[in-house]
Amino acid sequence: MMPDECPPAIRVHNLTKIYSLTPVVDGLSFEVPQGSITALLGGNGAGKTTTIAMLLGLLLPTSGQVALLGHDMATDRYAALAQVNFSSPYVDLPGRLTVRENLTIYARLYGLPRPAERIAEMVEDLELGAFVTRRTSRLSAGQKTRVALAKALINRPRLLILDEPTASLDPDSGDWIRGYLSRYAAETGATLFLASHNMAEVERLCSQVLMMRQGRIFDRGSVSELTERYGRTNLEDVFLDIARGQEKGGPAQ
Ligand SMILES: Nc1ncnc2c1ncn2[C@@H]1O[C@H](COP(=O)(O)OP(=O)(O)OP(=O)(O)O)[C@@H](O)[C@H]1O
């Protein structure tokens, strides 16, 4: 296969965001291959949400380039966005609308040919039946997360970007979401890119990890490469070493 036939799901080159002369994302460059599940990790304020917002075109970079599925986000963003979707606990769906109304709006935004059929599939898959006619403002955190995921999957994205997919969920609900995401990726070959503070989640789901610190990629690799490099038995300890600047090993050169 020629390289251009399967461009990376995400290609970021020298991505920078400066607020009041301070770079909060500082010259990031990385690629995420299609079909992989990749985690973006880093302590509070490392720059993960800012990076995700720039990937999605919600925030303009100060400089640098983003291409999703081979489409440059500066010049060709609509071609990319048709095949991409995202979910974030920080972006609420309109609370006065019911679950079904919300999903209908998103199905129309994506121009789906048979919106009612796709919504019925989502309702069944994500077990939304018991509350599909309820306003989203009246849902529990776990129910909201499942509805947000239904919204994020409605266009069958080839690239799904998730900001903390299981934040504020109990262990059982979190486990259900992780299981669902893992099956979705395996069945469709979609690429998942997620920011998370849950290291066990990343160990379970992700084939690749990008570690951010102070707006930069500090290190990257598979979970086993990182634990080996830092002489640790789990990702949580690697994370703590890097976040506290106490790493004994050090990033791969
Ligand atoms: N609009 C803004 N104006 C100025 N500074 C901002 C703005 N948005 C974010 N920042 C700063 O950019 C830095 C990175 O924030 P960001 O939200 O990307 O971090 P994060 O890694 O997602 O953190 P968390 O894990 O806490 O969500 C922080 O220091 C934050 O205060």
167 & 231 share domain: yes
- Predicted confidence band of residue 1 (pLDDT cuts 50, 70, 90): very low
What's the N-to-C CA distance of the chain in angstroms?
29
- What pLDDT is recorded for position 250? 63
Centroid of ligand 1 to alpha carbon of 212 (angstroms): 13
- What pLDDT is recorded for position 234? 93
Domains held by the chain: number: 2
Q: How large is the average pLDDT for residues 91-107?
A: 91
Spatial distance between the Cα atoms of 26 and 242, rounded to a whole number of angstroms: 17
pLDDT at 2 over 70: no
59 & 178 share domain: yes
223 & 103 share domain: no
28-32, 67-71, 244-248: lowest mean pLDDT where? 244-248
133 & 27 share domain: no
- What pLDDT is recorded for position 249? 60
- What pLDDT is recorded for position 169? 83
DSSP 249: S
- What pLDDT is recorded for position 248? 61
73 & 166 share domain: yes
Centroid of ligand 1 to alpha carbon of 56 (angstroms): 16
- What pLDDT is recorded for position 247? 66
Which of 123, 156, 189 is where one domain is finished? Answer: 156
Spatial distance between the Cα atoms of 144 and 93, rounded to a whole number of angstroms: 9
Domain of residue 70, CATH code: 3.40.50.300
Which of 156, 178, 210 is where one domain is finished? Answer: 156
Residue whose Cα lies nearest atom 13 of ligand 1: it is 45
191 & 67 share domain: yes
Alpha-carbon torsion angle 155, 161, 163, 169, nearest 10: 50
User: Does 22 contact ligand 1 (Cβ within 6 A)?
Assistant: no
Which of 156, 178, 208 is where one domain is finished? Answer: 156
pLDDT, one tens digit per residue, over 172-211 is 888 988 999 999 999 999 999 999 999 989 999 999 999 9
Q: How large is the average pLDDT for residues 126-138?
A: 94
133 & 179 share domain: no
Q: How large is the average pLDDT for residues 220-224?
A: 95
82-96, 121-135, 202-216: lowest mean pLDDT where? 82-96
3-class SS shares of the chain: helix, strand, coil, % to 5: 40, 25, 35
User: Does 47 contact ligand 1 (Cβ within 6 A)?
Assistant: yes
163 & 139 share domain: no
Query: What is the span of the domain harbouring residue 97?
Result: 92-156
Residue 212 CA: nearest ligand 1 atom is 21
- What pLDDT is recorded for position 34? 96
pLDDT, one tens digit per residue, over 44-90 is 999 999 999 999 999 999 999 999 999 999 999 889 999 999 988 77
Q: How large is the average pLDDT for residues 115-139?
A: 94
131 & 195 share domain: no
- Predicted confidence band of residue 168 (pLDDT cuts 50, 70, 90): confident
Long-range pairs for 170-174: beta carbons < 8 A, 24 or more residues apart:
170/142, 173/141, 173/142, 173/145, 174/198, 174/201
